[in-house]
A and B are shown apart, each in its own frame.
Chain A
């Protein structure tokens, strides 16, 4: 397996009136070709910021990449200029499936126009375009007739529009798709359909996916690997079956316990996500952690490989 994306020690800060928000703190992540990696964490854990950093679209100011590199196909995206980024990366080699399809589609143009615009930027001929669009829509279980393409975004259901978004993210034949919570606003039934589609299409189109979600159950359904983030730090990363069979980090364990389970017992983590203007020192989870001790806030635990491809940042692994 060849490495497609490697994020190295990435730290991102945002300057606000109240102070500097340390949104990402030395994040490490690797993604191989043809892999689906799920990025899991609560809101405010920096999942979306990481997705944006990979596309090099962190608004600056207020955002600032303090350190670290994002290697994509052996080139550091963060060092590319705007022009180069637009020509090679954004919407070309890396595409995005947004969280809210209605907020992302232009309400003034028909679906067909918007999909065609996507195509024009990648310089295909008219014939190629129509053919490709038809196959794609068929794969996405959408009626590929003219009627659908003539409709406006508001005339479609959430599930249909999200499938159109997936179609547009696949059109430029990307190597990497960043899916930012693509099913949060959908019904479970539609969610199940979309998750299956993503898995199948990834195989067919030979693309990799960074799947951002806060739901571990969704992650287990869609991913090969799981990376758990908390307050801007990576806590644990592992191959999906290993992660669930042998969850090692106390935060991951708590997160799993939060999922509704058939015994009817409701468990929560207790406490709240810290303010990232003045985050806890060392391991950012230690104030909410039952194993938290002096060592945890003096120095941040380095990631340890406890078994092949299973990295955990914690002092308390027994």
Chain B
């Protein structure tokens, strides 16, 4: 355990500096929410993640957001266990018929105002699973999506940039 402490003191900080909000994400958020609505979000966001049929690749990268390198809690982004505490629903996967109801119930359990962010190509257009009869269709056909973070899976840095667009003023 001493070596951990020594490393912490000598090796310097593992955490990277803020990458800033992604430009494309900022524009998408501005279109979806407008400046006034976004100001209501303040600088703190509670996020409830729901896997609506992903291959678990996106979950691995969302997990990484909490590791010491990305450490998104320093930006005020916090993953919460209950939808009742959440401002943002972070959804992955192509939305399967078997997960549809649980996804809708989670959204309904969140207090307004609330926002929906789709992570990964599957959430945007069902990705490689498009056309399967077991899949309902893109997330945007089921819930109002405010922001998409594309990628298969998107690297953590892209997810951070997207989420920062929700809380940072442009420019």
Q: Do A and B come from one complex?
A: no
